[in-house]
Amino acid sequence: MKRATIVLPTYNEKENIKILIPEIFTIAQYVQNWSISILVIDDTSPDGTADEVKLLQKKYKNLHLIVGPKLGLGNAYQRGFRYATDNLGPDFIFEMDADRQHNPNILPKFLKKIDEGAEFVIGSRYIKGGGIPESWAFYRKFFSYFGNWVLRLGFMKLSITDWTSGYRAIKTDFIDKTLPLYKKLNGYTFQIGILDNAIKNHLRIAEVPFYFEERGKGESKIKTLEFVVNNLLYIFFNSSFVKFAFVGVTGAVIDFCISFVLIEMFRLRVFFSTIISAETAIVTTFVFNNYWSFAHKKVAHKLNSFIRSFVKYNTVSAGNILIQAVLLEIATIIFPLKFWFVYKFIILAVVIIPYSYFMYNQVIWKQSPQKLANKE
C-alpha cells in the first residue's frame, strides 16, 4: 500500500477546510492501493481554522495539524514537507490550496500518473481539459498567462505548460534531499524553485488537466506585484538560458568591438575579421558559461578535463563561426557594407544564440540522466 500526504497551508480558511477535508477523505475511500493523509499547516489563523481542524481530527485519524507563526506560503510548505518526511512516511507529497480552488475530484488522476511512473505531477490549467475562471478580470487573466509564459521561455522548458500551478504531487525522496535548497525562497517563488530543481535532477514530470475553481470563502492572499518581481529575480539568477543569453550579450559586445577595430581601422576582410572576433568571444563565453550559466553541471576542475571540454566546445562552435561568417558575408554582398553591424546583430540574436544554447546544452554541458535518489 503506497502512501500520499496532502499538505494544506491555511490562514483564515475555517469555512473552506470544513468542506474540503471531508471531500478529500470521501474520495480517498474509493482510491485503490493508496493510503491518503492530510497535513494542515495553519499560520495561527484568528478565525479558528486550527480549532475546526481539531474537531475534524475526532472523525478522521489520518488528519494532522501543525500550528505556527505566519511566515508565508513557502515557509508553511517547507515546515509541512519536513514534518511529513520525518513523521508520516509518505511516498508522495501533494501541494494543494485550502481555499477549494483545487478540485479534489482529480486526485485519482494524479495517483494514476504516479502509478504509471511519474515522479512529479502538475495540475495544469493550460492543457486541454484545464482552464481558469471566465469571471476573472482581464488583468488577472493577463498576469496568469503572461507570467506562465515568461517562466516557460525563461527556463526554455516549453513542454511544461503550467509553471505557476500550486496543485502538485512530488516524490518524497526528491523533497527530502532538496529541501535545504529552498530556505531563502518564500511565497510562490518556492514553488517555482522546486519545479526548477526537479527538471535539473531529471525527474519524470507529468501533467493532468484541471479547471481552476473560483475561491470558496475568504479573500485571495496573492500579491501580484510581489509575485511578478520575485519570479523575474528567480529566473535571472537561476535560469541557465537567461544566464546564457546574458553571457551571450557580453560575448556579442566583445565580438562587435573586435570586428569594428579589424574592419573599420585595419580594413581586414569581413570574413576573416568575423572568425577572429567570434573565436575571442567564444573563449570568453566558455569560461563564463562553465562557471555561471551551467554551474550546476560544469565540467571537471582537472586541467586535462577542462582542456578536453574546451576543445570540444570550440569544435561545436565551429558551426557557430561558420554560420555567422557565411551569413554576414552574404548579407554584405546583397546589402550595403556600411550596415554590416546591423546584419551581424540580427544574425547573432535570431540564429547564433538559440543555436549555441541548444548545441552547448546538449553536447558540452549535457548531464546524463540519473536518479536523484542515487545522489548523495
Mapping DSSP onto H, E and C, the string for 59-123 reads CCCCEEEEECCCCCHHHHHHHHHHHHHHHHCCCEEEECCCCCCCCHHHHHHHHHHHHCCCCEEEE
The reply to whether 17 falls in a domain is: yes
> Does pLDDT of 277 surpass 50?
yes
Same-domain check for residues 313 and 207: no
Which pLDDT band, with edges at 50, 70 and 90, does 113 fall under?
very high
Same-domain check for residues 346 and 225: no
Same-domain check for residues 197 and 324: no
The reply to whether 210 falls in a domain is: yes
Same-domain check for residues 189 and 258: no
183-236 pLDDT, tens digit each: 888 777 889 999 999 998 999 999 999 999 987 665 655 666 777 888 889 998
Which domain-ending residue is among 214, 237, 260?
237
Give the pLDDT of residue 244.
Answer: 86
Same-domain check for residues 199 and 77: yes
pTM: 0.80
Same-domain check for residues 229 and 268: no
Which domain-ending residue is among 237, 260, 295?
237
Which domain-ending residue is among 197, 221, 237?
237
Give the pLDDT of residue 354.
Answer: 79
* 163 Cβ contact list (under 8 Å, min separation 6): 148, 151, 152, 155, 157, 192, 195
The reply to whether 371 falls in a domain is: no
Same-domain check for residues 195 and 244: no
- Nearest-5° Cα angle at 182, 181 to 188: 150
Same-domain check for residues 152 and 171: yes
State the residue range of the domain holding 36. Answer: 2-237
- How many domains in the chain? 2
